[in-house]
Amino acid sequence: MPDYSGFVAALADRNGQPESAFAALEALTKEIVGVKLFTIMTSDTTEKVSERIYSNMPEAYPVSGTKPYNETYWSDIALKQRQTFVANTIEDIAGVFDDHELIDSLGCQSVINVPIVIAGEVVGTINCLHEAGFYTKERVEAAEALKLPAAACMLLHDKLKNGSGK
């Protein structure tokens, strides 16, 4: 079982939220599955838009406004089927993400996108990228342990965004 104590402490801290909780989720992700590029995106499956709300490489992948997401087999797997999407080559990534050249330039050729599901709805994804072939079956299975802390982060983000977290 993963050690959630650092994440729980960060989540409980009043200061620097939600970024401190997001950073703790990144640290937990590094420990559990490994990651070079880590982002958290919201997903609005009704409006078909997403928003990056955390990035460990803000110069390449800044936190930004909303953008439409492409309807591909990625969205079918991650957003409709609520399953972790896995691509272990840059060619597979290029099939679903237009920014594959930037991804490759950062030394990343594999990705897992872990859906964050609350009350039966995908509200976002944890996006983990690493070198080619990195996300083995065992690492993908281990990523299941990130779903609960990710849901807590999204609930915190929503609470603060809607002004009820003061």
Cβ atoms within 10 Å of 5's Cβ, excluding its own: 8
Mean pLDDT score across all residues of the chain: 94
The amino acid sitting at 15 is N
Strand order in the sheet with 121-130: 66-68, 49-55, 37-44, 121-130, 110-118, 85-87
46 vs 112, which has greater pLDDT? 112
Predicted structure pTM score: 0.94
Using one digit for the tens of pLDDT, what is the confidence trace for 119-154? 999 999 999 999 999 999 999 999 999 999 999 999
| Beta pairing class for 49-55 and 37-44 | antiparallel
**Residue whose structure tokens are 């996300």:** 135
Type and span of the H or E element at 156? helix 147-161
Strands (DSSP E) found in the chain: 37-44, 49-55, 66-68, 85-87, 110-118, 121-130
19 alpha carbon, distance to own chain's centre? 14
Q: Are 146 and 32 in contact (CB under 8 A)?
A: yes
Residue 166: is its pLDDT beyond 60?
Answer: no
Omega before residue 115 within 30° of 0, cis: no
Q: C-alpha angle with apex 125: 124 to 131, nearest 5 degrees?
A: 165
Q: Give the ranges where 18-121 is alpha helix by DSSP (H).
A: 19-32, 73-75, 90-94, 100-105
Q: Give the Cα separation of 6 and 125 in Å (integer).
A: 21
- The mean pLDDT value for 6-27 works out to 96
